[in-house]
Structure 1
């Protein structure tokens, strides 16, 4: 059976939705990874309820996400849904003209919730620079680390 969760296809659809919400702005790979994390865990950032479960240690997702996001961008770029720009500041990505019609053609409750969170993230984090986004993430990561430590203490007692 093909893995769909965290596959390049699933992540690719998330990135297309995120870049569509950011349109006409572009984002580099690092910014996409950070914003995708905020989309998935929006409840941790005083946004709408998180799209993915609030499991302890979710901060660890960022460590493995960069390569998966890059693969997803390549997949969706090959399908004409993401465009790549290259300038002196580096490579950035944006939604193509086909991205919004592609998303509009998919009738799925998950995608509706995803797009709501992408719009929230674009409004909440889009205008911020990368350092400001990291500062917001660091506050949440600190809370996650405390939650994880409490779980470990409970395991050792029980």
Structure 2
């Protein structure tokens, strides 16, 4: 794990910046909220996908970490839309998001080691998604589904 500080970056601003880096790495592809939520988890936990070393520590309640992020991601995206770094696309399958014209220049300003590592991992995810197509997102969803079942079994919620 590269990030050694115990405080995880899960506020609205930090989550919004992760979303922006993800959208920029995937540009010109637009993404829905579910896809951004999956990518937001895995961009900091790339080792879970046999990728580069994770930026954030692994937690035993992974599914909980994934589930609590959605509201923060929505708030972060709203912030990015207000400052014209992300655009909204109304598609036939729902609302989608894409990085806006000013996003590349803004992302270049985020020059800390952590942000460079984050950008590298977002690019790694985008390249893997391009190679694997829909199976990439299915693989990420399968991990979340498996962790959900494990959590439910640990908590005694699994059906007989």
TM range (shorter): 0.7 to 0.9
Q: What is the aligned counterpart of 1:47 among 21, 27, 51?
A: 51
CA distance in 2, matches of 1:66, 1:57: 16
Whole-Å Cα distance in 2 between the matches of residues 90 and 82 of structure 1? 16
Task: Tell me, in whole angstroms, the C-alpha distance in 2 between the residues paired with 1:66 and 1:143.
Answer: 17
Moved more, 25-34 or 84-93: 84-93
Q: Which of 26-35 and 61-70 deviates more? A: 61-70
Determine which of 9, 13, 16 is the counterpart of 1:12: 16
Q: CA deviation at 1:140?
A: 6.9
Residues 132 and 113 of structure 1, relative CA distance in 2, 3 Å threshold: closer
Unaligned runs of 5+ in 1: 153-158
The answer on whether the counterparts of 1:4 and 1:10 sit within 8 Å (CA) in structure 2 is no
TM-score, normalised by the number of residues in structure 2: 0.80
Answer yes or no: is the 8 Å Cα contact 2:128–2:136 preserved in 1. Answer: no
Aligned to 2:124: 120
1:105 — aligned with what?
Answer: 109
In 2, distance between residues paired with 1:143 and 1:60? Answer: 9
> Retained in 1: the 8 A contact 2:62–2:147?
no
